Amino acid sequence: DAKTTQPPSMDCAEGRAANLPCNHSTISGNEYVYWYRQIHSQGPQYIIHGLKNNETNEMASLIITEDRKSSTLILPHATLRDTAVYYCIVRVIQGGSEKLVFGKGMKLTVNP
């Protein structure tokens, strides 16, 4: 149970902002939202995470709705190297243990 829903794919023009949506309507109050991406068959790479406030780092921005049921990852100026599968993940805490459960993700294609 991935607890998140993403569209299977999205296209974006190079140089434009890429807005990647994610629904997590069953998220609990203490569960964080994490974003990872996987380029080709490499190991996934951490991008950003947040609880309820918007977050920004050198890679991206994360906007979380006030009700926390959805979020958007923003790549401000997409490049061809941003073409990858992006995973939106909720860190699940069960019985004292915690896990990151990856779904199928969303394929972002940045076009020249």
The b/e string for 76-87 (b: 16+ C-beta within 10 A; e otherwise) is eebeeebbbbbb
Q: Exactly one of 2, 59, 63, 74 binds another protein (CB under 8 A); which one?
A: 2
Q: Exactly one of 78, 89, 108, 110 binds another protein (CB under 8 A); which one?
A: 89
Measured from the CB of residue 17, what is the shortest distance to another protein in angstroms? 24
Q: How far apart are CA 87 and CA 69, in angstroms?
A: 16
Footprint on residues 30-69 left by another protein (CB under 8 A): 32, 34, 36, 41-46, 49
Measured from the CB of residue 13, what is the shortest distance to another protein in angstroms? 26
Query: 22 or 87, CB closer to another protein?
Result: 87
Query: 9 or 65, CB closer to another protein?
Result: 9
Residue 86 lies near another protein (rule: CB under 8 A): no
CA angle 94, 95, 101 (to 5 degrees): 25
User: Which of 52, 65, 57, 56 has its CA nearest to residue 21?
Assistant: 65
Return the sign of the alpha-carbon dihedral for residues 86, 106, 61, 112. Answer: positive
**Strand 18-23, strand 61-64: pairing:** unpaired
Binding residues (CB under 8 A) for another protein: these are 2, 32, 34, 36, 41-46, 49, 87, 89, 91, 97-105
